[in-house]
Amino acid sequence: MQFHILGAHRETGENIDVVIEAADRADAVRIALSMNALISQVQQMGPGPDLDEVAAAQAEIESLNNRLRWAKYETAPDYRWLNLLGRSYCRAGVLTMALGVVGALLIFVYTLANNDADSGALQSFGGMLTGVLLGLGGFILGAAFLASGQMLLAFRDMARNSWTLPTMARLLADVRR
């Protein structure tokens, strides 16, 4: 075992700070006294690191760093076709929603502009109802396109992320070995 001894030299008064290898504390004190030391403190130290274990740990850390560098520069597939299709569906959805609303407004304006005293309330109501249905239909169809586009983009992200999972699993399996 190792002991850390603090004190002063008996004759010169200089500070003493030494580490002594001894079987026990009493043995360490006897060795320090034989060196003409006035002892002020004795602390037991833990065993020193095994140099072979330290070298093996450093080699393993270097190996893991090399594997991580390999994984960092490996790129995931782009899935560009999913990206283009998803964005196209999103744009088509927004455009369809906008055209549905514009079509409904045009039918409202046309119905109101052509509403004269001779036309009945039923004809005016029919024009308004047509505008509402056209607007609602366009909005629903556009929302379906938009949702489909977002679903395709999410699917692309899941595919890209799932591609990296086997790589990370392989790295973790190497670390556990």
Q: Does residue 57 form part of some domain?
A: no
Q: How distant, in Å, are the alpha carbons of 7, 15, 44 from that of 25?
A: 15, 20, 8
Domain count, the chain: 2
Task: State whether 95 and 164 are in the same domain.
Answer: yes
What is the pLDDT confidence band of residue 170, given thresholds at 50, 70 and 90? low
Buried b (16+ CB within 10 A) or exposed e, 41-69: ebeeeeeeeeeeeeeeeeeeeeeeeeeee
Task: State whether 81 and 41 are in the same domain.
Answer: no
The amino acid sitting at 10 is: R
Q: Which pLDDT value is given to residue 169? A: 63
122 pLDDT higher than 70: no
Among 41, 31, 33, smallest CA distance to 9 is for 33
Q: For the purposes of burial, counting CB atoms within 10 Å of the CB of 85, is it exposed (0-12), middle (13-18) or buried (19 or more)?
A: middle
Query: For the chain, what percent of residues have pLDDT higher than 90?
Result: 13
Task: State whether 86 and 144 are in the same domain.
Answer: yes
Q: Which residues form the domain of 19?
A: 2-45
pLDDT digits (tens, 9 = 90+) for 128-151: 777 788 888 888 999 999 999 999
